[in-house]
Amino acid sequence: MARIEEYIPIVGQPVIDDLRLLAERLKGKVVQNINSTSVGGGVAEILHRMIPFLKELGVDAHWDLIKGGEQFFEVTKKFHNTLHGMPIEISQQDFDIFLDTSRMNAEEINIFGDIVFVHDPQPLALIRNKAKNKWIWRCHIDVSEPNQKVWRFLRSFIDSYDAAVFSAPAFSQKLPIRQFLISPSIDPLSDKNKELSQESINSVLKKYNLPKDKPIITQISRFDRLKDPLGVIETYKQVKRHIDCRLVLAGGGASDDPESAEVLGEVKEAAKGDPDIHILLLAQNDIEVNALQRASTVILQKSIREGFGLTVAEALWKAKPVVASNVGGISLQIAHKYSGLLCHSVEGASFAVKQLLSSPDYARRLGENGREHIKNNFLITRHLKEYMLLFLSLYYPEDIVYL
Amino acid sequence: MPELTKAKEPFVFYTRLHLSELTGLRASTLGQLLELIKEVNGSCIYQHTHRFLQQHQHLSPEPPNDFAYWITDVLGEDELGEKLASIDLTQFTTIRSLREAITATIAAYLDKNPLAKVRFSKEGEEFHFIKSVSFVLPTNYVAYDLKDFMDILEKISIDSIYYHIFEARLRLERNTNDFSNWIETSIGNEKLAKEISRLDPYTFTLDGLRNKLIKIVKRKIPD
């Protein structure tokens, strides 16, 4: 894994100097992160990089997991979907399963942090263990229009935290605690985003039997209904009527998502009979994701809902033209017609893809602008800085803090 | 050949790091926006008139404020958007007076254009009020004369320049920017101090501003 100094050529020395100054102010504080999975999904990915960086800077950071069985994760997946506005009925039994597992976790987990940093709803109820330490709830999902029954239930825990963090302004709700806006980030030196040789890219294409004979449209995402994989196939079919191309739908599963196998089945069914649609179920292999993004002509992210949509930042960092739904944090990453194209429907997405395939100069310009925007706002160094400021804010209630 | 003047007091470069605090307050009409602008914390007014400067530092030499952007792009009230975008921020030395200018501009427009009151933003495109939280801390860079000062300007973070030029003058109500203040009081070069304070920093990108400052200061340093 890269060391902090290696980011200097990308972001400049002063940015790294600032990180060191902040880390000094956090000396003596123990930061304990807690979430529900160590693999799959954006949260685990961010923590895998964030923790070593905080440690390297001298912040005493730790990462612990809660435990949960199949039933628990089915319930939290339901919570997740209803918070995103999907009409799913939640029963008292669901709440009971959540509370039982939370109680067990609260008994088993060792809380030792001066700052306890809880990620997403799964470990939310651990707040019952709050003593004199500070607790932050990091919400990574889009809660702009949450199911009120579930939101009220979660609020009974959220309100006891010292602060909450959301990824986009629209996700904020009126809460009795401080709430901060911190967007997630990508790591430009990780396997998923680092530069790759053409040889490495070609070898991945060869492995998946993906010829370079036609433009490649790609969506990288988990097989999840909220990512609208069927809408992606429909978009591709509409483009294909006019421009010959291939579609790559690639992604893995996450250990806390029991629905993905079912969705993958539906996707395979919809793609049946078209040899130019490539459905790739990737094991956790970031180099391959990187290579597929770099080999693509256009990247799609046709999500129905998004917490943030880090795959958009990944694609833009590679200067790829992106067509994405105007949901969640995607509008923070793409300024329409400046750093990508935003859409609201299958028809809009296919029109945008056709435009980009037909106008490579325009596509290149959008990609280059996108890369610059990601460099200034969505790299891990900015994220690290804001997390350290967040930790410090717990001890300073003012709007202007002199450190 | 004139010698470099040693400063009476050295200039310590500070940096300002920023965190956005959400308020949960949102507006979907011009009327709601006006009422909330009147009552929100001054740190919200500061945030929405300065956010573009830092977030789109590479993009726009003339950053619009968030209010103007929303009113133009979401509500489609171009005339009012233009009026708000062209408010000369250098004319204000307090957030209070800036807030009054913004509210007076919107209120006057609403009086003249009652139909503007019934325009709603689309769902999901509401204006969200955000508060700016600043963390100010000293860097290791200290200048004892103009040559040091210029050398540091070349390598200091953009956040430091931002702090001493924008935040010090308006948010901390120091009347002028920190650079001009030091050059006048510690170096004794009133002309150079005035030259810097006369700049309209809002019309530069932050890197463009850095280069301009270096150019101005360089001329005053003996070879």
Is some CB atom of chain B closer than 8 A to the CB atom of A142? no
DSSP per residue over B150-206, as a string? HHHHHHS-HHHHHIIIIIIIIIS--SS-HHHHHIIIII--HHHHHHHHHS-GGGS-H
- The reply to whether residue B156 touches residue A401, judged by beta carbons under 8 angstroms, is no
- Identify all chain B residues contacting A136, using CB atoms and an 8 Å cutoff: none
Predicted confidence at residue B73, as pLDDT, reads 82
Give residues with Cβ within 8 angstroms of A207, minimum separation 6. A288
Report the residue from B17, B139, B157 with minimal CB separation from A389: B17
- The reply to whether residue B19 touches residue A22, judged by beta carbons under 8 angstroms, is no
> What distance in Å separates residue A21's CA from the closest CA in chain B?
8
Rounded to 5°, the CA angle A151-A155-A161 comes to 140
A96-103 long-range contacts, CB within 8 A, separation 24+: A97/A71, A97/A72, A98/A72, A98/A125, A99/A125, A101/A66, A101/A67, A101/A68, A101/A69, A101/A71, A101/A72, A102/A126, A102/A128
- The reply to whether residue A21 touches residue B15, judged by beta carbons under 8 angstroms, is yes
Give the H or E element holding residue A220: strand A216-220
Predicted confidence at residue B55, as pLDDT, reads 67
CA pair distance A161, A139, nearest whole angstrom: 12
Question: Are A251 and A69 within 8 A, CB to CB?
Answer: no
Is some CB atom of chain A closer than 8 A to the CB atom of B65? no
Could you give the ipTM of this predicted complex? Answer: 0.90
Report the residue from A169, A377, A390 with minimal CB separation from B19: A390
CA pair distance A385, B54, nearest whole angstrom: 15
Rg of chain A in Å (alpha carbons): 21
Residue A283 CB burial class (10 angstroms; 0-12, 13-18, ≥19): exposed
Give me the domains of chain A, ranges plus CATH numbers. Answer: 4-185+379-393 (3.40.50.2000), 198-377 (3.40.50.2000)
Q: Are β-strands A298-301 and A277-281 bridged in parallel, bridged antiparallel, or unpaired?
A: unpaired
- Identify all chain A residues contacting B20, using CB atoms and an 8 Å cutoff: 180-182
- The reply to whether residue A181 touches residue B20, judged by beta carbons under 8 angstroms, is yes
Question: Are B12 and B138 within 8 A, CB to CB?
Answer: yes
Predicted confidence at residue B171, as pLDDT, reads 82
CA pair distance A205, A245, nearest whole angstrom: 15
Q: How many CB pairs under 8 A join A and B?
A: 94
Is some CB atom of chain A closer than 8 A to the CB atom of B55? yes
Predicted confidence at residue A284, as pLDDT, reads 78
> What distance in Å separates residue B48's CA from the closest CA in chain A?
13
* Predicted TM-score of the model (pTM): 0.86
> What distance in Å separates residue B25's CA from the closest CA in chain A?
7
- Identify all chain A residues contacting B134, using CB atoms and an 8 Å cutoff: 399-401
* Cβ under 8 Å to B: A residues 254-283: none
Predicted confidence at residue B90, as pLDDT, reads 87
Q: Encode pLDDT of B39-86 as tens digits.
A: 999 999 999 998 877 766 555 444 578 999 899 888 999 999 999 998
Is some CB atom of chain A closer than 8 A to the CB atom of B186? no
Residue type for position A401: V
pLDDT tens over chain A, length 403 residues:
789 999 999 998 888 999 999 999 999 999 999 999 888 767 888 899 899 999 999 999 999 999 999 999 999 999 999 998 888 999 999 999 999 999 999 999 999 999 999 999 999 999 999 999 999 999 988 888 899 999 999 999 999 999 999 988 888 888 999 999 999 899 999 999 999 999 999 999 999 999 999 999 999 998 989 899 999 999 999 999 999 999 999 987 655 567 888 899 999 999 999 999 999 988 878 999 999 999 999 999 999 988 788 899 999 999 999 999 988 889 889 988 888 999 999 999 999 999 999 999 999 999 998 998 899 889 999 999 999 999 999 999 999 999 9
Is some CB atom of chain A closer than 8 A to the CB atom of B171? yes
Q: Which residue of B has its CA nearest to A372?
A: B58
Distance of CA B50 to the CA centre of its chain: 5
Report the residue from A22, A373, A376 with minimal CB separation from B17: A22
- The reply to whether residue B58 touches residue A376, judged by beta carbons under 8 angstroms, is yes
Q: Which residue of A has its CA nearest to B160?
A: A14
Res. B188 pLDDT band, cuts 50 70 90:
very high
Report the residue from B130, B135, B171 with minimal CB separation from A403: B135
Predicted confidence at residue B60, as pLDDT, reads 45
- The reply to whether residue B20 touches residue A12, judged by beta carbons under 8 angstroms, is no
Residue B182 Cα distances to A135, B106, B216, angstroms: 42, 38, 15
Q: What is the largest CA-CA distance in chain B?
A: 69
- The reply to whether residue A386 touches residue B19, judged by beta carbons under 8 angstroms, is yes
Question: Over the range B148-173, which residues count as b (16 or more CB within 10 Å of their CB) and which as e?
Answer: bbbebbeebbbbbbbbbbbbbbbbee
- Identify all chain B residues contacting A172, using CB atoms and an 8 Å cutoff: 22-24, 128
CA pair distance A230, A403, nearest whole angstrom: 51
- The reply to whether residue B22 touches residue A179, judged by beta carbons under 8 angstroms, is yes
Report the residue from B15, B136, B172 with minimal CB separation from A401: B136
Question: Are B19 and B35 within 8 A, CB to CB?
Answer: no
CA pair distance A130, A114, nearest whole angstrom: 10
CA pair distance A271, A267, nearest whole angstrom: 6
